[in-house]
Amino acid sequence: MISKLRIKIIVVITVILTAAVFGIMFSVNMVESASNRTQIESKIKRIADLDGYPPSVREEYNPFEEPSTVYSDCFSIQLTYDYQVKKIVLTRDVTVDRTEIIGYANKVLTSGNTFGEMGHYAYYITPKYYGSIIVFMDIHTYQQAQSNLMFTTSLIGLLTIILFFILTVALAFWLVRPVKNAFDKQKLFISNASHELKTPLAVISANVDVLENETGENKWLGYIRSETRRMSELVNELLCLARLEDKSNHQPVITQFSLSDTFLMTTLPFESKIFEAGKKFEVSAEPDLFYKGDESMVKHIITILLDNAVKYSADGGFISAKLYTHNNKKIIEVFNTGEGVPKDKLNKIFERFYREDEARNSKNGGYGLGLAIARSSAEALGGKITVQSNYRHWIKFCVIL
């Protein structure tokens, strides 16, 4: 639980910071792109106003910018009203020939746009008294600057995200530490309390036997025995759950065993119990399936799921237990008709002490620990449990090993 909480904190903070970094990167690049577009549009329109001739050095002099390079690579084509070439104006740095210029002009006319980009050229078309003029300006330097900015911001953004991730991991450990300490103390308390309760329960049970021998059977001693048995079951479940969660002191006993035989030996004893309850039971298992794991854990999982199915299946309902393989995984499936669980509560039924229906669970004697134990056992074996349910019709558990 603590690990999942820590992972959630890391994922949430990392996603938020990543979105913020990408937002800043996007904004910087968009602002730079808009600024470049404004400069390009301003310069190319200035050339168009002068019929394709770049402004003179004196007219455009800027002490912070070399004027000869501002409009050094541009060309224009003047067209008559019937789109015949009137004149082509070239600057000294242009290396395109007449055929290429006419080809560019035809593409611009076909596009129907007044201003745009074509490769590493920006173009602008505007009407004139003699027809129209199309001005082309080399924007390679602008594009290169934009690419460099994109690369720089991406690199800085990536390094920032990595740094944030490292800090987030450290922060998550720090934030979760009080929760982990409280959870560890809770587990220790449950474990110690369960151990301490076993002795008085055993004494109570023994004294009930002595009293029964002396006074004979009566309903009061029966009540004491029944409640003592229920309390012992709860203590044993708490101890089992505490051992499963304390991975440092409890490791599965790994052996190679016949999963098919274990499955049948665990499920078949339920036949009489299910028959007496007036329900139908079906068992099927693929033969000769072997598994390397803790056999007692597998038995406990099957027992919990079948016991759950017997308790919560409908009167006269149907229960099935299957063992089969799928995609090289061994699957234990327990199905029963009955009330099932609403879809919005399926992710909660594996929580400790969770009860979907308090009255129904109290009637059936459940403590809300069985499925939590089954999930912890499956995870200790390296597997998992999934659940599906059609509310008010059926529910199905699958243990994937």
pLDDT per residue over 145-181, tens digit each?
Answer: 999 999 999 999 999 999 989 998 898 888 888 877 8
Confidence of residue 359 (pLDDT cuts 50, 70, 90): very low
Res 250: pLDDT: 60
Q: pLDDT-derived band of residue 365, with 50, 70 and 90 as boundaries?
A: low
Same domain for 386 and 306: yes
Q: Are residues 297 and 380 in the same domain?
A: yes
Residue 149 is predicted with a pLDDT of 93
For residues 186 and 269, state if they share a domain.
no
Mean pLDDT for the chain overall: 84
Cβ-in-10-Å burial (0-12, 13-18, 19+) of 258 comes to middle
201 and 69 assigned to the same domain = no
Residue 275: which CATH number? 3.30.565.10
DSSP state, residue 252:
-
Would you place residue 246 in the very low, low, confident or very high pLDDT band (cuts 50, 70, 90)?
A: low
pTM: 0.55
Assign 56 a pLDDT band (cuts: 50, 70, 90). Answer: low
Query: Domain of 236: which CATH number?
Result: 1.10.287.130
User: Mean pLDDT, to the nearest integer, of 109-135?
Assistant: 91
Q: So what's the pLDDT on residue 174?
A: 87
- Domain co-membership, 179 together with 311: no
Whether residue 189 is found in the same domain as residue 301: no
Token pair belonging to 316? 């006269």
Q: Are strands 318-326 and 280-285 parallel, antiparallel or unpaired?
A: parallel
Q: How confident is the model at residue 94 (pLDDT cuts 50, 70, 90)?
A: low
Please state, in angstroms and rounded to a whole number, the distance separating the CA atoms of residues 333 and 116. 64
Domain boundary residue among 127, 145, 163? Answer: 145
Question: CB–CB of 387/341 below 8 Å?
Answer: yes
Same-domain pairing of 63 and 196:
no
The answer to whether position 157 is within a domain reads: no
| Higher-confidence position of 252 and 337 | 337
Let me know if residue 224 belongs to a domain: yes
The H-or-E segment that residue 243 falls in is helix 219-245
β-strand pairing of 131-138 with 280-285: unpaired
Structure tokens that stand for 200 in this block = 């008085």
Looking at 245, 279, 302, the residue that finishes a domain is 245
Tokens of 123: 């173009």
The SS3 call for residue 249 is: coil
pLDDT surpassing 60 at residue 69: no
Contact between 306 and 320 (Cβ < 8 Å): no
Query: What is the C-alpha to C-alpha distance for residues 95 and 77, in angstroms, rounded to an integer?
Result: 15
The answer as to whether 162 is a domain residue is no
How confident is the model over 103-123, as a mean pLDDT? Answer: 90
Handedness of CA 63, 68, 69, 73 (dihedral sign): positive
Domain count, the chain: 3
Question: What tens digit of pLDDT does each residue of 294-324 get?
Answer: 999 999 999 999 999 998 888 889 999 999 9
Q: What percent of the chain has pLDDT over 90?
A: 37
Of 129, 124, 125, 114, residue with least CA distance to 81: 129
CA 276 to CA 57: how far, in whole Å? 106
The phi and psi torsions of 268 (rounded to 5 degrees) equal: -60, -35
Domain assignment present for 150? no
pLDDT tens sequence across 251-280: 678 899 999 999 999 999 999 889 988 899
Query: Do both 208 and 274 map to the same domain?
Result: no
Summarised one tens digit per residue, pLDDT across range 204-228 is 888 888 888 888 878 888 888 888 8
Greatest mean pLDDT range, 57-66, 183-192, 299-308: 299-308
- The DSSP annotation for 321-381 comes to EEEEEETTEEEEEEEEEBS---GGGTTTTTSTT--SSHHHHHHHT--S-HHHHHHHHHHHT
Does residue 326 share a domain with residue 384?
Answer: yes
Q: In this predicted structure, which of 2-6, 39-43, 157-161, 244-248 has the lowest mean pLDDT?
A: 244-248
CA–CA gap between residue 297 and residue 165 (Å, rounded): 38
Residue 156 lies in a domain: no
Q: Is residue 161 part of a domain?
A: no
Q: Do 234 and 262 fall within a single domain?
A: no
Task: Looking at the structure, tell me whether residues 375 and 269 fall in a common domain.
Answer: yes
Whether 164 is covered by a domain: the verdict is no
User: Does the structure show a pLDDT above 70 at 248?
Assistant: no
Last residue of a domain, one of 185, 212, 245: 245
> Which of these ranges, 94-103, 125-134, 232-241, has the smallest mean pLDDT?
232-241
Residue 155 falls within a domain, yes or no?
A: no
Can you give the residue range of the structural domain that contains 103? 2-145
Whether residue 145 contacts residue 151, with contact meaning beta carbons closer than 8 Å, is answered with no
Q: Which two tokens stand for residue 199?
A: 């002795």
Is residue 259 located within the same domain as residue 396?
yes
User: How buried is 289 (Cβ within 10 angstroms: 0-12 exposed, 13-18 middle, 19+ buried)?
Assistant: middle
